[in-house]
Amino acid sequence: MENLGRMPLLGERFPEMEVKTTHGMKKLPDDYAGKWFVLFSHPGDFTPVCTTEFVAFAKKAEAFRALNTELIGLSVDQVFAHIKWTEWIREKLGVPIPFPVIADELGRVAQTLGMIHPGKGTNTVRAVFIVDDKGILRLVMYYPQEVGRSVDEVLRALKALQVSDAHKVALPENWPNNELLGDKVIVPPAGTEDLARERLEAAKRGELECFDWWFCYKKL
């Protein structure tokens, strides 16, 4: 594994690393070139909250794939524990786990990505890393061990990032279900006086909707 220095920042390339998973060895981010991926950690196998999250991620796996995105799980457990746990989920809960799970036995990936927090021992917190199709880290979420994540929110954030990239727009709170704008998107604020006037003129022509020159939005 390489690049085991400081944590990567948003907009930087995801650290190159070779990891052992339940689907064999993987090289990140190179093995996912041309695809987005969501790497999410869990504190430990055979734990209730983590099990509910794995079931939710598994049931939404096709929705992620529809967005050219693969899922990757991780904890500091051994690969044998991962295999037995995913078998248990399939047999007892009827949900196959279609994505690989990293066995970070030495905690090197967890340390690199800031998943080990003070007061929580050697277990990983619930971290989420969204990496784009060029290997760039685009979003990071951290949850404490006691609070399960919303897989729907991870999926929503992924969609928002991809829409923002494709259309060069910003997305409001809880898009596409924002209380103020609904599913409309925000046009980047005007950076010059001329552009500010142009925005208001565009609003008069019905090409944009604006509360003011700095707050304009539109339907995609």
Read off the tokens for 89: 């989920």
Q: Is 216 tagged catalytic?
A: no
Q: CB-based contacts of 25: which residues, under 8 Å, 6+ apart?
A: 18, 19
- In what helix (H) or strand (E) does residue 74 lie, and over which residues does it extend? strand 69-75
**DSSP code at position 16:** P
Read off the tokens for 103: 């066995």
Q: CB-based contacts of 136: which residues, under 8 Å, 6+ apart?
A: 11, 12, 13, 14
* Phi, then psi, of 92 in degrees rounded to 5: -90, -35
Tokens 């949850």 sit at which residue? 143
Of 50, 76, 155, 203, the active-site residue reads 50
CB 83 within 8 A of CB 22: yes
Q: Is 199 annotated as a binding residue?
A: no
Annotated binding site for substrate: 126
Enzyme catalytic residues: 50
- The annotated binding site is made up of 126
